[in-house]
Structure 1
Amino acid sequence: MRALFNYPYSQLAIASLLGSFAVLGYAPFYFYPAPILALAGLFHLWARSDSMSRMAALGFAFGMGLFGTGVSWIYVSLHDFGGMPMLLAIFATTAFCAFISLLPLSAGWALGRFFPVTPMLAAPLLWTAQEWIRGWIFTGFPWLAVGYSQVPYSPLAGFAPLFGIYGVSLLTATCAALIAAAFAKRLGKKPLALWLLALWLSGAALKHVEWSEPYGPRVSFSLLQGNIAQDLKWREDELVHTLQTYRQMVMASRARLIVLPEMAFPLLLDDLPKSYLDNLARHARSQGGDLLAGVPEIRHDANETRYYNSMLSYGTAPTQVYRKSHLVPFGEFIPFKPVFGWIYRELLHIPLADLASGEPNQAPMNLAGQKVAIDICYEDVFGEEIIRPLPEATLLINVSNDAWYGNSLAADQHMQMSQARALETARMVLRATNTGATAMINREGRVLAHAPHFTQVSLDGEAQGYVGATPYVRWGNRPVIVILTAGILGLGWRQRKFGKAR
């Protein structure tokens, strides 16, 4: 076994397998010990390495295992629905995974370069720092941040209302470092057990804290999952069928709050028959409530025409609109258009791939007696953005169309991020999607009701609004950033004073 760990290529294979194993911590598996054990293995490999380059390679291999397994569904959107040739889609998916694996690589390199004396203290800080950087660089891709793997069942999830998902990542990585230190006999079994017990008992106790209190009566809702196949959604010959499907589902609802998914109507708002919308609004008013529908919107500003991914309300309240502000690069807008524009002209066939961004700070909507904060699809993976309309908002709604990723892990992973948002904000989250995962999530981050995927169904229930502000709502990611900065600088000073970098 010792010889196996000392052989470089075997170490890289082990690191990659550990990254793949970590995916079991995320939905739909929810085996939250897996990422802790996987990171413990990576930290152990890092501590046994004798060069910065090897530590960097181990970080890269772990990242390729994690992302190559966990976000391989990108291939589905590029090839199956984007029309990209198979080999090119495989290359693009692999290149993307390799690109984001450069951040775990940098964490390994920095650990070997600056912290050879205190690797087990620095590893959790550096791991969390690279996750935080990945959450905003190039508009951000926080998917598979290790903190999500602890939501909602792990005791560590109890820290989410305090420090957000990156705080949970830091504590998860700390648990991994404690295990790795004990395995390397740098920490005895008794101190290990005491520290782990303290962290887990504290998290479990925090789960019993009520960070918010009920606001108003419970509101009946219908979350409409139309199950419109992605390859048919934008075809003109399917338009009538799509409109009829949603009209029938709306008319069958007896709820005060009816929610349709992202871009439920696959044509511009200006082209949608007014009589169609009037009928839907009339039904919502007859229930004493409101309807929320996704539709692309066009606006003419001065000499510029802009298209938006929008949600509009109809019913007892005046019509309100939310326009998606955080767009997906290469999916909803073209970054560096002079460089990458040819990809869309020659290789991809994605409708409305160059949208405009809505305002970053949009007020909650007044719907069915609640103040509802809307976020569209990818936006709810950014906790620091979801808290912008809080604490004013009493209820969170996410609408999405994860049909782009087929029958893969993507939809369930996305729902787990919504579960994290519920924990961070102490608010219920309602998710209305085209093909799944349509769900009702309570303020503890647990799924109370979940519609079957790829089924036309209305998920009905009652939601409770809440008021109050968690520490994360008040402070966002700032406390974690301060902890990471102070910890890294402090260990760097200790390294400089007591040991030499490699």
Structure 2
Amino acid sequence: MRAALLALAFLLAGLAQAASIAMPGSGRPLWLLQLVSLGVLAFGLRRLRDENAGWRRAGLHAWLFSTAWLSGTFWWLFISMHTYGGLAAPLAAIAVLALAAALGLYYALAGAWFVRRGPRGTVTGALVFAALWTLAELVRGSWFTGFPWGAGGYAHVEGPLSGWAPWIGVYGIGAVAALAAALVALARPAARAELAGAALLVAVAFGFPLVAQPSRGEAAGTLQVALLQGNIAQDEKFVPNGGIENALRWYGEQLRDARASLVVTPETAIPLLPQQLPAGYLEAIQARYASGSQAAVVGLPLGDRQGYTNTVLGFRPGATSAYAYSKHHLVPFGEFIPFGFRWFIDMMSIPLGDFRSGGLAQPALAWQGQRIAPNICYEDLFGDEIGANFRDAATAPTILLNVSNIAWFGDSIAIDQHLAISRMRALEFARPMVRATNTGATVVIDAEGHVTHALPRLTRGVLEAPVEGRTGLTPYARWVAHLGLWPLWGLACAIVAVAFVRRRRAA
């Protein structure tokens, strides 16, 4: 009975971790719930260690936690595969669970190692727990192209740990959260010295951002934007005489009539290759913005049936050719087919499902004193790749721009989760993030991560708002631009290695 209750506690804690990133109903992040969830994980692993339950059982319980957390986070993949991809419901459910279970193995290994080799002291144990948690998060975010959606640090886009973002980024915040939670969970009331040390470290973790705020740079002027949200249903998007004509008509009218300095459409708002468009359609947009004081960013696929890219084109006065940014980090299955999985894709109906990748750190769009760096869909999930644009302060973006189409996932929590991701990027780089999406969230986020203007989701409309660009580099932007995430890898590995050596010498 006790074993069943312990397993249930791990499962519920994992689901709480999922809810903490964007609470169902409100969509708000709940930083305290994320800390409690991690605390339950650390406490449960300590109990298993104290009971000499063995590393295999510890790994199993950590796997239960992570599988519940991850499947509870990205369950909406079921909608894309079944509702819009045509995959049978049982197979779609199995696919989501299998992905969560596979990614959960990283955390299972971390839990098993903690119980088998981790130190028993409160402070040293908490440091190793945080290091192992961070390594599992980094592996999930990088191996096999990476799928770090729902990383624990996103729950802290609000709250006392959000001030760490411009210093150490989302993974660093996740490490600090894991450290703070483990210090409380592993502390033993009888060990006063350890309790005092744990309390001091928790106080530092929460207090540091309040007294060590980095410079957020200088204002770089204001740009008036118009963000278009067409609300084209995914099951209509590629239908002739339906969603295609609807999109071409509505986006064409808005691009023609807009009065803002910069007009932005969502990802693949124009759902056809240029050669498939009605005669003169793209040329009319280009002519509209060839003179005057306005520019436009338009999302569409480029290429031909032998190969195409997910691209945004920028049209502006005085330019001899259109600006182009092509998506670099593609979505497995949705935008490229991993080796050996053609059979799986063939079971679904996904148009334009095998894109070519664009390059990393492509030039920004220069317009009216701003340097605007686009990213497409879930590319804003990879802060280290966005950071590659900040290697030179003189050419670093002043505004970040995300264009997305999350209609694949319906009216689900994916919209709120993606908003939290974009807010974290704004905090890390102290840059506004402008989002133009098909169904939501179409918003303007300022350089402090606050949503200043927003359209209601699942409605058709135009969001007109001012955006203040920013210059300067945060500490995170400086080190991640040149070193990527390697400092976090190195620090976490060093902590685990030192603990391992000390444990071997003491044995």
| 2:15 paired residue among 17, 20, 32 | 20
Using the TM superposition, give the Cα deviation of residue 133 of structure 1 relative to its aligned residue in structure 2, in angstroms. Answer: 0.6
| Partner in structure 2 of residue 324 of structure 1 | 327
Does residue 415 of structure 2 align to residue 411 of structure 1?
A: yes
Using the TM superposition, give the Cα deviation of residue 190 of structure 1 relative to its aligned residue in structure 2, in angstroms. Answer: 5.0
| Partner in structure 1 of residue 404 of structure 2 | 400
SS in 1 for 2:373: strand
Q: Are the equivalent residues in 1 in contact too, given 2:78–2:92 (CA < 8 A)?
A: yes
| 1:90 paired residue among 85, 88, 93 | 93
**C-alpha RMSD of matched pairs (Å):** 1.8
Query: Over residues 356-399 of structure 1, what are the superposed CA-to-partner deviations in whole Å (9 max), with x where a residue is unaligned?
Result: 11112311121343111111101110011011112421111011
Using the TM superposition, give the Cα deviation of residue 179 of structure 1 relative to its aligned residue in structure 2, in angstroms. Answer: 1.4
CA–CA separation in structure 2 for the residues paired with 1:56 and 1:372: 45
1:243/1:186 CA distance change after superposition, 3 Å? farther
Report how many aligned residue pairs link the two structures: 484
Matches for 1:312-461 after TM superposition, within 5 Å = 312-318=313-319, 319-336=322-339, 339-345=340-346, 347-390=347-390, 391=393, 392-461=396-465
1:274/1:155 CA distance change after superposition, 3 Å? farther
| Partner in structure 2 of residue 194 of structure 1 | 200
1:368/1:280 CA distance change after superposition, 3 Å? farther
SS in 1 for 2:70: helix
Using the TM superposition, give the Cα deviation of residue 295 of structure 1 relative to its aligned residue in structure 2, in angstroms. Answer: 0.5
Query: Over residues 87-126 of structure 1, what are the superposed CA-to-partner deviations in whole Å (9 max), with x where a residue is unaligned?
Result: 1111111111111111111111111222153533311110
Query: Over residues 309-329 of structure 1, what are the superposed CA-to-partner deviations in whole Å (9 max), with x where a residue is unaligned?
Result: 111011215211011111111
CA–CA separation in structure 1 for the residues paired with 2:292 and 2:68: 50
| Partner in structure 1 of residue 487 of structure 2 | 479
Matched AA of 2:384: E
Query: Over residues 122-168 of structure 1, what are the superposed CA-to-partner deviations in whole Å (9 max), with x where a residue is unaligned?
Result: 111101110011000110011111111101x2221111111111111
219-228 or 235-244: bigger deviation? 235-244
| Partner in structure 1 of residue 138 of structure 2 | 132
CA–CA separation in structure 1 for the residues paired with 2:492 and 2:114: 14
Q: Are the equivalent residues in 2 in contact too, given 1:255–1:287 (CA < 8 A)?
A: no
117-126 or 326-335: bigger deviation? 117-126
Q: Are the equivalent residues in 1 in contact too, given 2:215–2:474 (CA < 8 A)?
A: no
| Partner in structure 2 of residue 148 of structure 1 | 154
Q: Are the equivalent residues in 1 in contact too, given 2:229–2:442 (CA < 8 A)?
A: yes
Using the TM superposition, give the Cα deviation of residue 184 of structure 1 relative to its aligned residue in structure 2, in angstroms. Answer: 6.5
SS in 2 for 1:310: strand
| Partner in structure 2 of residue 110 of structure 1 | 113
160-169 or 184-193: bigger deviation? 184-193
Matched AA of 2:341: F
SS in 2 for 1:358: coil
1:495/1:405 CA distance change after superposition, 3 Å? same
CA–CA separation in structure 2 for the residues paired with 1:40 and 1:344: 39
| 2:467 paired residue among 463, 469, 472 | 463
Does residue 268 of structure 2 align to residue 267 of structure 1?
A: no
Matched AA of 2:36: L
Using the TM superposition, give the Cα deviation of residue 169 of structure 1 relative to its aligned residue in structure 2, in angstroms. Answer: 0.7
| Partner in structure 1 of residue 503 of structure 2 | 495
| 2:294 paired residue among 265, 286, 289 | 289
Matched AA of 1:204: L
| 2:181 paired residue among 158, 176, 179 | 176
Q: Are the equivalent residues in 2 in contact too, given 1:156–1:204 (CA < 8 A)?
A: no
Q: Are the equivalent residues in 2 in contact too, given 1:15–1:59 (CA < 8 A)?
A: yes
Gaps of 5+ in 2: none
| Partner in structure 2 of residue 39 of structure 1 | 38
CA–CA separation in structure 2 for the residues paired with 1:433 and 1:426: 22
Matched AA of 1:104: Y
Matched AA of 1:43: A
Using the TM superposition, give the Cα deviation of residue 193 of structure 1 relative to its aligned residue in structure 2, in angstroms. Answer: 3.9
Query: Over residues 317-343 of structure 1, what are the superposed CA-to-partner deviations in whole Å (9 max), with x where a residue is unaligned?
Result: 52110111111111101111xx32122
CA–CA separation in structure 1 for the residues paired with 2:66 and 2:191: 26
SS in 2 for 1:431: strand
Matched AA of 1:240: E
Q: Are the equivalent residues in 1 in contact too, given 2:228–2:461 (CA < 8 A)?
A: yes
Query: Over residues 447-486 of structure 1, what are the superposed CA-to-partner deviations in whole Å (9 max), with x where a residue is unaligned?
Result: 1122111000111111111111112112112332222122
Matched AA of 1:348: M
TM-score, with length taken from structure 2: 0.91
Query: Over residues 163-218 of structure 1, what are the superposed CA-to-partner deviations in whole Å (9 max), with x where a residue is unaligned?
Result: 11111111010110111023665566654443322221212334x43332112x20
Matched AA of 1:490: V
Query: Over residues 261-303 of structure 1, what are the superposed CA-to-partner deviations in whole Å (9 max), with x where a residue is unaligned?
Result: 0000010022224632343334445650210011000069xxx
CA–CA separation in structure 2 for the residues paired with 1:433 and 1:204: 34
Does residue 248 of structure 2 align to residue 243 of structure 1?
A: yes
482-491 or 225-234: bigger deviation? 482-491
Amino-acid identity (%): 35
Does residue 211 of structure 2 align to residue 205 of structure 1?
A: yes
CA–CA separation in structure 1 for the residues paired with 2:383 and 2:424: 8
CA–CA separation in structure 1 for the residues paired with 2:345 and 2:494: 44
1:257/1:185 CA distance change after superposition, 3 Å? farther
Matched AA of 1:481: W
TM-score, with length taken from structure 1: 0.92
1:212/1:200 CA distance change after superposition, 3 Å? same
1:352/1:40 CA distance change after superposition, 3 Å? same
Gaps of 5+ in 1: none
